[in-house]
Amino acid sequence: MVLFVLLVPVLIKWISHNYVDNNLIKQKNKFLQIVKIQGIKNYIPDGEKYGSYYLPVKEEYLTIEEAAPQYFLDTIKNEKRLVERDTIEYRILSHTFKINSQNYLLEIGKSVSTLDETSTPLQNIALAVLVGMILLTILADLFYTNRVLKPLGLIIKTKLIGHKFPNFGSYQEVKTSTSDFQYLDISIHQMIETIEATFQKEREFISNASHELMTPISILQSKIENMFERDDIADDTKLRLLEMQKILNRLKSITKTLLLISQIENEQFLKEDKISLQELLQEVYDEISIRLPEKNLTFDIVIPQDTILVNVNKFLIFNLFFNLVNNAIKYNREDGEIIIAAENENNTLVVNITDTGIGISPEDMPFIFNRFKKFRQSMQHDSFGLGLPIVKSIAAFHQIVIGVDSVQGVGSNFKLTFPTVLIGQDVYL
Amino acid sequence: MNVLIIEDEEALAHELEIFLTNHNYITEVCYNGNSASEKIAINLYDFILIDLGLPDYDGLDLLKEAKKNNPDAACIILTARAEVYDRVRGLDLGADDYLAKPFSLLELQSRMQAIIRRKFGLKQSIVELGDFLINLTDRVITHHENIVNTITKKEFDLIAYLILHKNRTLTRTQLSEHIWGSIINDDYDSNYIDAHIKNIRKKLNIYAPPDWLETVRGLGYKIKMNA
C-alpha cells in the first residue's frame, strides 16, 4: 500500500510522458503526411529554417531544417531550447527524413512545465481518492472484525477473565456460528475442567490426609499423656516427654489448620450467623490481650457501635480476626500499637487492621498468603506459615476482599472489605 | 462408674482404658460396632464413648441404640472426621458431648466430670483452697467474705482445669490446648500460660498468697489440695 502511494507520482509522470510522446509521434506523422501532399517547399522555400510556435507561452513548437545527409535521428527526449531569450525545457521529438535526397530534421517540442501542470492536479486527485479508499477499508475492517470477533471477546470475557480460581462456574456455551470459535470455547472449557478437577483432587487429598493423620496423632497424644502421669517416671524422662508433647502439638496444629482450610475451601461451613462486630472483636481481645503486655502494645478498636454482620460463620470470622491481630502482635515493635477501625463505605463495610510492626518487604508481598511460606524476618517467631492462608480462605469463603499495604519498618495495614450481603441492616438483638 | 469404650483403633482404645481405669472408672472395650451393639443391649453403662468412624457400623446408629437401651448413659462422640454436620447430627441424636480427635485425655475427663455434675445433680461444687473458696458452678472466687472480682474468664478456666486435675502436673501444652484449643492459628509454642499464671498470682496475692498454685520446674503447674 505504502509502496503504491509512493509510486503514484512516478506512475502518473510516466503515464503522462507516454501520452505526450504518443501525441508527438502523431503530430509528426500528420506533419509528414502534409509534407508529402504539399511538398517540402511549402515550408522551406530556400533552405531556410522553418519554425512555428504556439504562442504566447511557447508551450509547443515545430521546426524543420535541412540537415547533413549523413545525419540520422529518431528520438524523444527532454532538452533545453533557447526560444526568444527564454530557456525552456521541452520534451522534444527529433526525426530526420529525406525528400528528394535532401535530408531534413524535424523537431516537435512540448514544454515540460505544461506537462507537469497537467499531471500535478491529477496526482493530487489520485492521492485523495487513495487516502479515502484506505480510510474506508479500515472502517469496514473494524466494523467487520468487531462483528465477526464478537464471540471471541465473549469467550475471553466470560471464560478467561470472569473466572475466580479455584471456584469455577458451570459451562455455558458461547453462541457462535464460527466453528473455530466453537472449538476454542470447548477447548478452554476442557482446560478449565482439567484445572478444576486437579484443584478438587488437591483439596480432597489434603482433607483425607489430615483426617487420616488425626487418629495416629490422637494415639500418640494419649500415650504421652498416660506416660506423663506415671509416678515411676523420672523427671528428666518427663522433660523429654514434654518435648515430645510440644512437637506433637505442632504436628496437630498444622494438621488441624490444613484440615480447616480444606473444609473452608470445600464449603463445609454454614454462613448463617448474625454477630455484632463490636462483641466479636471484644472476644478476640479477651483471647489475645494476654499477649499485649510482653511488648507493651496498645490496642484500639474504633468501630460504629451497631455494626452487625449477617450471613457469616462466627467461628471463621473470629479466627480471621484472631489471626490478623495475632500477626499484628507477633511482628510488632516494643511500645507499638494496633488499631482496628471500621467504617461504612458505599454499602460495604471496610475494616482496617493497622500495626506498627516490621512490615512486609515488596519482594515478599506477593507470597504472604501462600501456605508454608516463611520469611526471614519471621523465622524468630514460632509459626509455620499458615496464619495468612487461613485468613485468605476465610475471606474468600465470605467474599471479603483483602488488601494489604505495608512499609518496611513502619507497619502493615490489612484492609477487609465486607460486601453488602454481609452487613446487617437491623439492630442486633 | 461404668464406661463402655467403642473404638476400632486398638492402640487408642487401650490408652483410654488405662487412663479411665487410673481414674477409678470401670471400663469395657469394644473394637467394632457389632459387639458394641450387643453390649449396649445387655449391660447398663454410665458413659458410652462412641467412635463415629467404625468399619462395620454407623456410629450414629449405635448412638440411637444406646439412647434406646441405655437412656441414662451419657454418650460422648469421638471422631476424627470433624465434619460440622456430623457434630450437629450427633448432638441432635442426643449425644451429651462431642470430642474431635486428636483430643487430650484430660479434656475427656473434664467433659465427663461436667456431665457428672450436670446429670447427677451436684448442685454446688465448691472447693476450698487455703483461705479461698472457689465455686466452680457459679464461677466465683471468694476470700473470706470478699469476692475476688478481678479474675478474668480465661484465668478462671485455668484455675478450674487445674482443680479438676488436682495434684497432677499439667503441662503448658495441655493448659493452652484447654483454653485456646478451639482457635486455629499458626502458633505452636505459645507460652502465654506463664503470663496468665503470673496474673492470677498477682491478683490473688492481694488477699492471700496462693501457695496451692505450684510451679513444677520445667514441667508445668499444679494445684495441690487434699482429696
Say whether B105 and A222 touch across the interface (CB within 8 A): yes
Domain boundaries, chain B: 2-119, 126-223
DSSP structure class, residue A377 = G
As a whole number, the mean pLDDT across chain A is 83
Most B-contacting residue of A208, A221, A240 (CB-CB within 10 A), to test interface: A221
| DSSP reduced 3-state for B130 | coil
Domain CATH code at residue A401? 3.30.565.10
Say whether both A218 and A321 belong to one domain.
no
Q: Which residue has the cell 472480682?
A: B149
A154 in any annotated domain: no
Residue B184 contacts A, CB cutoff 8 Å:
yes
Using one digit for the tens of pLDDT, what is the confidence trace for A158-169? Answer: 777 766 555 556
Q: At what angle do helices B153-164 and B172-180 cross, to 10 degrees?
A: 130
Using alpha carbons only, how large is chain B's radius of gyration in Å? Answer: 19
Residue B187 contacts A, CB cutoff 8 Å:
yes
Say whether both A293 and A375 belong to one domain.
yes
Residue A245 contacts B, CB cutoff 8 Å:
yes
Say whether A239 and B218 touch across the interface (CB within 8 A): yes
Listed residues A119, A134, A165: the one ending a domain: A119
Nearest CA in chain B to A324: B185
Could you confirm whether domain B2-119 is CATH 3.60.150.10?
Answer: no
Domain CATH code at residue A242? 1.10.287.130
Residue A296, domain extent? 273-422
CA distance B4 to chain A (A): 17
> CB-based contacts of A49: which residues, under 8 Å, 6+ apart?
A63, A64, A65
Q: How confident is the model at residue A193 (pLDDT cuts 50, 70, 90)?
A: confident
Residue A68 CB neighbour total at 10 angstroms? 9
Distance of CA A329 to the CA centre of its chain: 40
A158 in any annotated domain: no
- Which residues 115-174 in chain B show a CB within 8 A of chain A? 152-154, 168-169, 171, 173-174
Q: What percent of chain B has pLDDT over 90?
A: 43
Say whether both A278 and A404 belong to one domain.
yes
Say whether B184 and A269 touch across the interface (CB within 8 A): no
ipTM for the complex shown: 0.86
Q: Which of A53-57, A264-268, B154-158 has the highest mean pLDDT?
A: B154-158
Give A235's contacts in chain B (Cβ within 8 Å).
218-219
Say whether both A283 and A260 belong to one domain.
no
Residue A259 contacts B, CB cutoff 8 Å:
yes
Say whether both A192 and A314 belong to one domain.
no
Say whether both A292 and A248 belong to one domain.
no
A89 in any annotated domain: yes
The second-level CATH assignment, the architecture, of B126-223 is Orthogonal Bundle (1.10)
Number of alpha helices (DSSP H) and beta strands (DSSP E) in chain A = 8, 12
Q: What is the mean pLDDT of residues A338-349?
A: 91
Whole-model pTM over 0.90: no
Q: What is the mean pLDDT of residues B103-120?
A: 88
Say whether both A240 and A305 belong to one domain.
no
User: Which amino acid is residue A419, in one-letter code?
Assistant: P
User: Cβ distance B90 to B98 under 8 Å?
Assistant: yes
Listed residues A265, A281, A301: the one ending a domain: A265
For chain A, the 3-state helix, strand and coil shares in percent, each to the nearest 5, are 55, 25, 25
Say whether both A67 and A91 belong to one domain.
yes
Number of domains in chain A: 3
